[in-house]
Amino acid sequence: MARIPSLKSLNAFPHAEEHLLKKTYSGAIVTILGLIIMFTLFVHELQFYLTTYTVHQMSVDLKRGETLPIHINMSFPSLPCEVLSVDAIDMSGKHEVDLHTNIWKLRLDRYGHIIGTEYLSDLVEKEHGAHHDHDHGHEHNDEQKKHEHTFNEDAEKMVKSVKQALENGEGCRVYGMLDVQRVAGNFHISVHGLNIFVAEKIFEGSSHVNVSHVIHDLSFGPKYPGIHNPLDETSRVLHDTSGTFKYYIKVVPTEYRYLSKKVLLTNQFSVTEYFLPIRPTDRAWPAVYFLYDLSPITVTIKEERRNFLHFLTRLCAVLGGTFAMTGMLDRWMYRLIESVTNSKTRSVLR
């Protein structure tokens, strides 16, 4: 086959110059340095390719007939477990007693060590009338006054037991999960489960109820990579005062889609906090309220990985650029050494 003369001019890889084929110490140093740089850049590009990133999208929430899981983990260092109750009410006013719940109360000593446990199967106060007495300060009728003077032995024992626990500095840790209807509502932790007269006997007034608390964890569903719950590790400690804490929470339905196509249904939330100090004329008793509302927007978070061809393009650019740079450096060092050597030779001949 005859060779085409003009084809030779298209060769992009001509033979290297003769001096570039000589092996020198400077060339070895440049080669080793170039290999180190190329290996470092290769590892960096490989990690960049293998690292996933997330893409956020928003759409209208179309979920219906589902429940909202609420995970609670809180400590009350100044209130014994015997006086604490958990109450959940949705927007319709219905008490959430028919849903699956799993709440525990742990008795704590003054140093925060667990000294006992109690399982809550029913979160709602058994006497809803007492709840209204605590919240709204309704006037007591004759039957209630009669009840005040006819304390049974169980009530007296409870008053004595709680007072002893308060003297010992006992606290309580409440943790577990509420499964409520997927509508706006609230849940609160307070002493509202006590009969109003028992509460008066124990605390001698609402101003002596210290609802200092630490929120170790509060979430509305399972956690996904990168989630931030703004109330985690929140501490609110009261000194020589009392009052009601209210947390206004906006829940945002969230779907997290993994690379494996697995979908995790959960929720994010934002929160605004408000504290209302107790006044001597107030009939309401201190509590910690969590009032939540659902956003009509769903956030979808997708895990994605960079395109393989994009990875190859970047890799070729990095390695090729490094190779060209080391070649130029090698040529420059060779010429520098050669010029220095020739200069010395000429000076000796003179």
pLDDT, tens digit (0-9, with 9 covering 90-100), for 128-164: 334 444 444 444 444 444 444 445 777 788 888 888 8
Lowest mean pLDDT: which of 36-45, 77-86, 247-256, 327-336?
A: 327-336
93: pLDDT confidence band, cut at 50, 70 and 90? Answer: low
Distance CA 44, CA 41 (A): 5
pTM (2 d.p.) = 0.70
Please choose, from the candidates 188, 177, 20, 167, the residue with its C-alpha nearest in 3D space to the C-alpha of residue 89: 188
Residues 205-264 have pLDDT tens digits of 888 888 999 999 999 999 998 899 999 999 999 888 889 999 999 999 999 999 888 999
Q: Tell me the range of 10-19, 56-65, 121-130, 171-180 where mean pLDDT is highest.
A: 171-180
% of the chain beyond a pLDDT of 70? 75
Give the model's pLDDT for residue 146.
45
Inter-residue contact 107 to 81 (CB < 8 Å): yes
Q: Tell me the range of 12-26, 76-90, 120-134 where mean pLDDT is highest.
A: 76-90
Higher pLDDT residue, 117 or 1? 117
Please give the backbone phi and psi of residue 193, each rounded to the nearest 5 degrees, phi first. Answer: -70, -15
Sequence-separated contacts (24+) of 281-284 with Cβ below 8 Å: 282/137, 282/206, 283/136, 283/137, 283/206, 284/134, 284/135, 284/136, 284/137, 284/206, 284/244
Give the mean pLDDT of the chain: 79
Inter-residue contact 114 to 107 (CB < 8 Å): yes
